[in-house]
Amino acid sequence: MEEINVLIEQRYKKLEDLRKAGIDPYSNSFIPEVKAIDIKNTYSQYSQEMLENELIPLKVAGRIIALRDFGKAVFSHLQDSTAKIQLYFKKDILQDKFQLLKKLDIGDIIGVSGRLFKTKTNELTIEVTDYHILCKSLRPLPEKWHGLRDVEIRYRQRYVDLIVNPQVKEIFAKRSAIIKAIRDFLEQNGFIEVETPMMHQIPGGASARPFSTHHNALDIDLYLRIAPELYLKRLLVGGYERVFELNKNFRNEGISTRHNPEFTMLEFYIAYRDYEFLMNFTEELFSYVANKVLGTLKIPFGDHLIDLTPPWKRIRLLDALQVEGLSKEDISNIDAITSWAKSKSIDIPKGITLAKAIDEVFKELIEPTLIQPTFVIDYPVELSPLAKKKAEDPNFVERFELFIASREIANAFSELNDPIDQKERFLKQMEAKKQGDEEAHWMDEDFIRALEYGMPPAAGEGIGIDRLVMLLTNSQSIRDVILFPQLKPEQ
């Protein structure tokens, strides 16, 4: 740490020297005209003779990431947002300005004018004819950032992570491409993008604990949304038939490699369709995005090769449990399933309902085995208070969850549009909340009123964008795909 402080002091001294010399170390007087990647793509195949004949003038700007002083010449590498390129500073060309190179450090941002040539090692290089200091860096970049063991520092200081680890920047470039591909696919299929409120008077649309705040002017409590679902369904009532929203949700839950309290979710709704349609549509969506961004449907993830080629496996929730050895009798009795779970070292919390016990066993026993894309379908009605019941068995609903690489990626169902049934389910959820279930749904009288005007039969789906990006970039932690993940306060 003492060494770092000394280096910082030296840089402050250089800053002072520049100002004394009448040079603005934070100038905005230079406009680059070309990117490093374009220079390389255009001129890498040129011979030295061709470069000399054309005498191509260039203006490029970026950060110094390497600096080597050879007395009457200095070599450097400049990195902009696209790539890095070598610079050559020569005393005979720069004259008095050559001495100012002593005031430059790795990390400084400069703009250079010059012409291209190739070194003896055939490296494309800019011979600098003039340069401008655009930003003096006062804190040295870590020399051994590559392979740094303390990943929390990388997440906390993402700005440094992006400077020195090009592969990190590539992940977020892919994230942007994934989101664009999703939007393109939905728009090509007749969906329109909408925005609904981030602050709700009644948090609804999911089973989760919300963040709360207070609006002073109205003197009311508000909640950061846990899901946009109920507002998007109101738009179906209003006459829209295909809508989607790609935005943030907030849930007051733990932080892990799979969870961040602020996360990005895609939700879309389509009238006159059901969950069977959505399974096929989801296969098409994922295939389109993977092909567009990666050019393949077979993607590496950890120790596995995930094959997104449709059709994907489909299995009923209860059938999945029976495959693991649970009998129909076990599944239909809370004491039996609790005893069976205990024999498998699965702890079932006391006092929970049968449906939630089934869910606990599934999460512990089945979910880790679902590597290849799998639709788990037909959930107990208690776990799905916004989904339509199955006509042949009203104890279950038309719902699926999509699992890939042992992770839930999507949740979807045929939407409940019966206002009487919906109100009864909300009342049961309110009773559960009174019994201590902090994640139970709230009563939303306005949503019931909207359903009373009539919502067409529809299907809706939510896809976790962060988890999808994790899958398509082979990232093992959600923090690797969120630019600034939530972290505990820095000590």
Q: Which uninterrupted H or E stretch holds 244?
A: strand 242-250
Q: Ranked by mean pLDDT, which of 79-83, 203-207, 433-437 comes out on top?
A: 79-83
The pLDDT of 338-348, averaged and rounded, is: 89
The first and second tokens of residue 4, run together, are: 């770092």
Question: What does the pLDDT look like over 100-110, one tens digit per residue?
Answer: 999 999 999 99
Residue 150, pLDDT above cutoff 90? no
Question: What does the pLDDT look like over 261-293, one tens digit per residue?
Answer: 999 999 999 999 999 999 999 999 999 999 999
Q: CB count, 10 Å around CB of 472?
A: 24
pLDDT of residue 97: 95
Kindly give, in sequence order, each residue whose CB lies less than 8 Å from that of residue 167, ignoring residues fewer than 6 positions away: none
The average confidence (pLDDT) of the chain is 94
The pLDDT of 420-433, averaged and rounded, is: 92
pLDDT of residue 56: 80
Lowest mean pLDDT among 82-96, 322-336, 469-483: 322-336
pLDDT of residue 2: 66
pLDDT of residue 164: 87
Angle, nearest 10°, between helix axes 465-473 and 166-188?
120
CA distances from 190 to 182, 244, 271, 461 (A): 13, 10, 12, 16
Angle, nearest 10°, between helix axes 419-434 and 445-453?
170
Kindly give, in sequence order, each residue whose CB lies less than 8 Å from that of residue 313, ignoring residues fewer than 6 positions away: 372, 373, 374, 375
Question: What does the pLDDT look like over 25-71, one tens digit per residue?
Answer: 999 999 999 999 999 999 999 999 999 888 788 999 999 999 999 99
Cβ proximity of 26 and 130 under 8 Å: no
pTM above 0.85, yes or no: yes
Residue 146, pLDDT above cutoff 60? no
Give residue 151's pLDDT band: very low, low, confident or very high (50, 70, 90): confident
Question: What does the pLDDT look like over 211-265, one tens digit per residue?
Answer: 999 999 999 999 999 999 999 999 999 999 999 999 999 999 988 999 999 999 9
Side-chain-side CA neighbours of residue 226 (13 Å): 21
Question: What does the pLDDT look like over 171-225, one tens digit per residue?
Answer: 999 999 999 999 999 999 999 999 999 999 999 888 889 999 999 999 999 999 9
pLDDT of residue 1: 55
Residue 169, pLDDT above cutoff 60? yes
pLDDT of residue 147: 45
Residue 359, pLDDT above cutoff 50? yes
Give residue 332's pLDDT band: very low, low, confident or very high (50, 70, 90): confident
Residue 328, pLDDT above cutoff 90? no
pLDDT of residue 372: 98
